Amino acid sequence: MIFTLILATAIAQTPDGAAEKARDIIAEITTFKLVEAVIIVLTAYFLIQVFSRLLFWLSERVAKEWRLRIKQFVPFVRMMVLSVALIVLMNRFLNLSKENVFAITGTVAVALGFAFKDYVNSIIAGVLGLFETPYQIGDRIKIDGNYGEVIAYGLRGLRLRTPTDDVVSIPHNKIWTHSISNSNMGSLEAQIVTCFYLEHAVEPQRVQDILYRVAQTSRYTQIKLPIVVNIEDKVWGTLFTLKCYPIDARYEFQYKTDLTLRAKQTFKDCGISYPHMPVPYMKDA
């Protein structure tokens, strides 16, 4: 109803010939056509749901190396079903002749320009995102202050699952204005950074050796990828940063926990102590 009103308002603002044509098209809309449209929309929705569920189900049952590839196929399937549904609908209602397409695109463009500017902006960003791939399903990204795994790639936006198991919806148009950091870019591994805060008095070489061993012995570590230990001196102590990759980025947080557990146990066995941080420096840490 609102859409028809907006369309009518838009028609009023367009040149006479085009407006007349558009009025004719609207006059041809019958109840039967509307029922047909509802059936087409429902079928498209049903197909999208079936394909998405099927692909997600399949992706969890094949070898992990195929998991992300299959999931990344979901947005394409959605786009295809939606495009087909849209073309069928337009053909039903607008009788897609050359003149009608010209008349309607101008009209719809004005209407959409007024009403759904941001929505269309997000849809266009989503379609471009499919090809530019700043993020795909299964990637671990940070966007607009939110970090997590991309679990859905919709028409308008994406859904992120955060470490606290919240699902955050973010519109695709953030691509235009925000920086996006992607940890794995479609691969199974993503670098994990774990920080260890120790006293100034510790032997850095020894701690470095221990941290290498900690990473090499964790069950989650992808051993064929590099392991790096960085050391940084702070006012309150020494910061050791262990950078390594898990076999499957899905286990990121379990991996971090495992690394911390192993390191803490070894530090305890070797008598390596933690810094006593003065309150003014807490912020720095």
Partner 1 sequence: MAKVSSLLTSLQTWLLQRRRSLIAWFSTDQKENSLPEESLKQLPSALRRRLMQQLKHLPSHPDHADQLKTDFRQAFQAWHSRQRSSPDDWEGDHHDNVWIIVSPSVANLPDVMGVFLKAIADGDAQDEAALSHQGLPLQLVRWSTRPDGKSLSKELQQQENKFSSTDGRRIVVIPCLEQCFLRSVSGLEVIDCLTQDLLSDPSRFWIIGLGQVSWRYLQAISALDHYSDRTTHLEELSGEQLSNWIDPVISELSIEFQSSLLRSQFTSQNLDWKTKYFSILADEAKGVDTVAVQLFLNTLQVINDDDHRGDDQATQLNDLETDKLQGYKIHAKLPERPGMPKLMGESEYLLYSLLLHRTLTRQELADSLGMTLRQIIPWIQSLRQAGVIEQQGQTLTLNPIYYPTVCTKLEGDNFSL
The one segment of 15-23, 58-66, 69-77, 194-202 that binds partner 1 by CB under 8 A:
58-66
Distance of closest approach, residue 262 Cβ to partner 1, in angstroms: 6
Distance of closest approach, residue 219 Cβ to partner 1, in angstroms: 4
Pick 146 or 222: Cβ nearer partner 1:
222
Q: Show the site string, 155-194: x = touches partner 1 by CB under 8 A, - = not.
A: ---------------------------------xx-----
Say whether residue 153 binds partner 1 (CB under 8 A): no
Distance of closest approach, residue 263 Cβ to partner 1, in angstroms: 9
Nearest to 155 by CA among 119, 110, 113, 180: 119
- Cβ pair 259, 215 in contact under 8 A: yes
Within residues 239-278, the interface with partner 1 by CB under 8 A covers: 247-248, 251, 258, 261-262, 265-266, 269
Return d(Cα 276, Cα 168) in angstroms, integer: 37
The one segment of 17-25, 73-81, 134-142, 218-226 that binds partner 1 by CB under 8 A:
218-226
Pick 36 or 189: Cβ nearer partner 1:
189
Residues engaged in binding partner 1 (CB under 8 A): 62-66, 188-189, 210, 213-214, 216-220, 222-224, 247-248, 251, 258, 261-262, 265-266, 269
